[in-house]
């Protein structure tokens, strides 16, 4: 599939199909069923969500690393002592502020603070 929306639609209409997506794209998704994952066969599976209907992401499992499929997002700054660097530093400061962390959470990501 060329994007997550198409993949979700395909999984919803094709028995036995499977795909992957970002947590923020599938929380509150009613068309599909989400699978819990385990790091290996000897460990319990961890759910992406905190409830059966997946209205909330399992932030604790993402935060402590127990959910086995995660990715980190990075902000890269241009260090040129010019306006690009100043804008980058301002953006990072916004993201790390209480307001920024709230915005990160609203978009379905797990805040770092």
Rounded Cα gap, residues 83 and 36, in angstroms = 45
In this prediction the pTM is 0.69
**Residues 102 and 65 both lie in one domain:** no
Please count the structural domains in the chain: 2
3-state secondary structure of 37: strand
pLDDT greater than 90 at residue 6: yes
**Residues 95 and 52 both lie in one domain:** no
**Residues 78 and 64 both lie in one domain:** no
**Residues 85 and 111 both lie in one domain:** yes
Q: What is the mean pLDDT of the chain?
A: 90
Q: What is the pLDDT of residue 108?
A: 75
Range of the domain at 49: 1-70
**Residues 33 and 3 both lie in one domain:** yes
Q: pLDDT tens across 75-104, in order?
A: 899 999 999 999 999 999 999 999 999 998
3-state secondary structure of 57: strand
Given the structure tokens 């036995």, which residue do they identify?
A: 16
**Residues 95 and 46 both lie in one domain:** no
Q: pLDDT tens across 24-39, in order?
A: 888 888 889 889 999 8
Q: What is the pLDDT of residue 110?
A: 83
34-61 exposure pattern, b = at least 16 Cβ within 10 A, e = fewer: eeeeeeeeeeeebbbbeeeebeebbeeb
Q: Which of 36, 53, 70 is the last residue of a domain?
A: 70
């Amino acid at each position: 599939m060329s994007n997550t929306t198409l993949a979700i639609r395909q999984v919803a209409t094709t028995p036995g199909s499977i795909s992957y997506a970002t947590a923020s794209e599938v929380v509150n998704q009613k068309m599909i069923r989400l699978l819990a994952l385990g790091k290996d066969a000897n460990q319990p599976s961890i759910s992406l969500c905190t409830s059966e209907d997946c209205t909330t992401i399992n932030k604790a499992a993402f935060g402590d690393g127990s959910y086995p499929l995660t990715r980190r997002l990075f902000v890269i700054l241009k260090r040129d002592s010019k306006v690009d660097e100043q804008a980058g530093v301002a953006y990072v400061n916004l993201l790390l502020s209480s307001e920024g962390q709230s915005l990160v959470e609203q978009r379905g990501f797990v805040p770092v603070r």
